[in-house]
Chain A
Amino acid sequence: METIENNEKEREEKEPKYRSEAGIKAFILVMTGITIITAALTSGTYNGYDPHAYSVAITGFFVIVTIIMTAVWYRSKYNNYAYNPNKKSKR
């Protein structure tokens, strides 16, 4: 387990300081609810084999918007941070 613990410590040294993410997480949870409700309302009780295209499109649209907004938020919050396991730690 020593290798694992050493690796954890090395990674912690490379990372930026953890900041509050409550806002974006609340946004994601709200969007999750909106996505599910949208799918339920637009598709309804239909259980056949040719799905309504508009229902799939608007459900997918909300998911894509959520992902893009989240990506923009994290990029700006952590200043374009990207973890690189091969990079030497700051110390």
Chain B
Amino acid sequence: MISVTAWEWIGLFIGMLIGGLAEAWGISNPEVLIRLGRWKDRLFVGCIAIAIGAGALALYGLAALGVSFHWGVKPDYVWGVALGAAIFGTGIAISGYVPGTVWMALGEGRRDAVYAVLGGLLGAASWTLIYQTSFGHWLVTYDNFGQIYFGGAVDTDLYVGFGIAVAWAIIMFSVAYFLPRYKGGKSCAYTSLHKERGLSPQEESKYVETAGMLLEGSSMPLGKHNLPEKVNYHWTVSSKLFGVVMMSVGIIIGLTVVLEMFLHQIFGESTTYSWIVAKIWLPAGTWKYSTLVVHTIGWEPFSDIGTLFGAFLASIFFTRRFQSFNNVIPPSWEKRFGNSQIKRAAGAFSGAFLMLLGARMADGCASGHILSGDLQMAVSSLEFFIVVMISLLIVAHIIYRKVVD
């Protein structure tokens, strides 16, 4: 059995890698997740499906060969996970953020991320308070089936697990292949496998509009004939390169999460908010949830700092999207609520509050459940992902249905 437990500060590098890639991909921009909620841009689903498929194959293949992992599968307490996921999806629709992208956006110098961090801390503190009550206890204990994956209890029947992982990966790759990024277009997986295919004029204008949206508010000129121009206008837009780049990013992220599980723990981003709350406000020993958090968090604060710093470095050296805290309001939000900074700050704060409350209630977020958990084929994480998507689509439809692009 090959087993490793890495030093905590090594988490910095894992976070930097994922934060840098995700910033280049554009997910630190809240408009990307708002458009996902409006079902206008499904790149997130395609990329995450590639990461999950590639990661599941690597994880269960290596585990079956005798490699030891720090599994950390999230327990499936059915009602608590479902309620947390519904609140989480609502928070994403309002703020455009998930816990990890708040850190990335802060690294990219986005002003509304400052309010999102504060809202997130209050949301995490609220769950620490609720956990102490009989309702909180009920949520995490009633119908709790423990740490289970599609093949049974965690870290058992690994050959069966690998067989299921093959089927799971086929499903995920099919989603990535058949789900187009934009209505009437093709997916990045399809594009990378059909290099002769050109973009239709409508698709091309969509990609160009997306490139402009991602660059909006940048405090630094992009320049010409350099790497950042290639990244913004060709690697993420051109049909010849875009598919390959996005496929590669998905695969690298999936394999990095597997590496993290081998070295220390799963990739998560939201526990750090509860850990900060435990250190500055609701101390362990007095508050049960804080006690639980400080004894299980591991290197996550370092990997979160790495996520923030990786996104910052990518936005300076790679994409030149660093905003220097300029006033930038996501286009969908602006069309719905106007260009008031106060309204946007309130939206980012309240959305992040709900998002972190939901994440801590369900014991994970987009990183811990949707990326790491679905890659592990955890039952709780599949439930979380489904409920989050339903909640996000419904709430985003209610909020942005009158927005005309």
Contacts and interface: CB of A to CB of B under 8 A. Distances in A.
Given A67-B109, A74-B220, A85-B216, A28 B326 contact: no
Contacts of A49: 295-298
B135 interface: no
Interface of A: 1, 3-4, 7-8, 11-12, 15-18, 21, 25, 28, 32, 35-36, 39-40, 43-51, 53, 55-56, 59-60, 63, 66-67, 70-72, 74-75, 78, 80-86
Contact of B312 (A21, A67, A72): A67
B116 interface: no
Contacts of B222: 11-12, 15, 83
A45 B299 CA distance: 12
Best-buried of B220, B229, B308 by chain A (most CB within 10 Å): B220
A64 to B, nearest CB: 9
B215 interface: yes
A11 to B, nearest CB: 7
8 contacts: A3-B208, A4-B207, A7-B233, A46-B7, A59-B302, A60-B305, A67-B109, A83-B216
A67 B106 contact: yes
A32 B309 CA distance: 9
B130 interface: no
Contact of A74 (B301, B322, B328): B322
B107 A47 contact: no
Interface of B: 5-9, 12, 106-107, 109, 201, 204-205, 207-209, 211-213, 215-224, 229, 233-234, 237-238, 264, 275, 279, 294-299, 301-302, 305, 308-309, 312-313, 316-317, 322-328
Contact of B9 (A28, A43, A50, A53): A43
Contacts of A32: 309, 313
Contacts of A56: 301-302, 305
A75 B325 CA distance: 9
Main secondary structure of the interface of A (DSSP, over half): helix
A16 B211 CA distance: 19
Across the A-B interface, give the 7 residue pairs with the lowest CB-CB distance, nearest first: A85-B212, A15-B221, A71-B324, A39-B9, A82-B326, A43-B9, A56-B301
Given A51-B298, A51-B301, A63 B233 contact: no
Given A59-B302, A70-B316, A83 B9 contact: no
B229 to A, nearest CB: 7
Best-buried of B9, B107, B308, B328 by chain A (most CB within 10 Å): B9
A82 B217 CA distance: 5
A51 B305 contact: no
B302 A51 contact: yes
Contacts of B296: 49
B305 A83 contact: no
B286 to A, nearest CB: 16
A37 B328 CA distance: 34
A35 B279 contact: no
Nearest to B6: A47
B316 A51 contact: no
Contacts of A59: 9, 12, 302, 305
Contact of B264 (A17, A21, A44, A47): A47
